[in-house]
Amino acid sequence: MQIDGVNIKVIKGDITEQNVEAIVNAANNHFIMGGGVAGAIKRKGGKIIEDEAVAQGPVEIGEAVVTSGGNLPAKYVIHASTMGMDFKTDSDKIAAATRNTLKRADEKKIKQIAFPALGCGVGGFPVSEAAKIMLREIKNYLKDNPSSQIKEIIFVMYTQKDFKDFSAVVES
């Protein structure tokens, strides 16, 4: 699929193993990397990623910050704060986190970015709903920012069910 010249694809895999410029961490607004995607990123990429993120927080929910990729194949991690320390999220928080992630990517001139389904792990938000919100925000962002540097967005789903649910939305 393409949106305004940007390749969009959904794959099943481990986001920490993606050889892309930046991966996205579905984060809390204090950037403490405990479980879910954040925990996996910290385990594989090193505590340096969490240290760099925590130094930039706390932020308002929906904001995003950029750190190095530590020991990951990705050069950067963009931490999208989709929830507070109560681990609750909603459509507005996911929308803002998606938008601000794209802004941070453009600020760093990142061309290739891999997203998980924001808010769906620890946050418990339905994958298909998150997919609709994230795609809408990506479409709007690219339409409003025709000079965006982003060329490829990969949605990386860890489970077969999430892959099926997310793909169904992207294909429709």
pLDDT band at 52 (very low <50, low <70, confident <90, very high): very high
Non-local (6+) Cβ contacts of 3 within 8 A are 138, 139, 142
The pLDDT tens digits for 90-121 are 999 999 999 999 999 999 999 999 999 999 98
Residue type at position 56? Q
Q: Given a cut of 90, is residue 122 above it in pLDDT?
A: no
Fold of 2-171: Leucine Aminopeptidase, subunit E; domain 1 (3.40.220)
Given a contact cutoff of 8 angstroms between Cβ atoms, the answer to whether 170 and 8 are in contact is yes
| Mean pLDDT of the chain, nearest integer | 96
Q: How far apart are CA 39 and CA 31, in angstroms?
A: 11
Percent of the chain clearing pLDDT 90 (strictly above): 93
Q: Is 119 left (phi over 0), alpha (psi -120 to 50) or beta?
A: left
Residues in the chain, total: 172
pLDDT at position 77 over 90: yes
User: pLDDT grade, residue 5 (50/70/90)?
Assistant: very high
8 A C-beta contact, residue 82 and residue 90: no
Structure-block tokens of residue 77: 């991690």
Answer whether residue 36 shows pLDDT above 90: no
Task: Indicate the DSSP class of residue 55.
Answer: T
As given in the structure block, the two tokens for residue 38 are 């954040």
pLDDT tens for 141-155 read 999 999 999 999 999
Concatenated DSSP letters for 108-154?
TT--EEEE--TTSSTT---HHHHHHHHHHHHHHHHHH-TT----EEE
Is the model more confident about 78 or about 87? 78
pLDDT at 35 over 90: no
Q: Record the tokens describing residue 50, joined without a space.
A: 């969490």
* pLDDT above 90: residue 14: yes
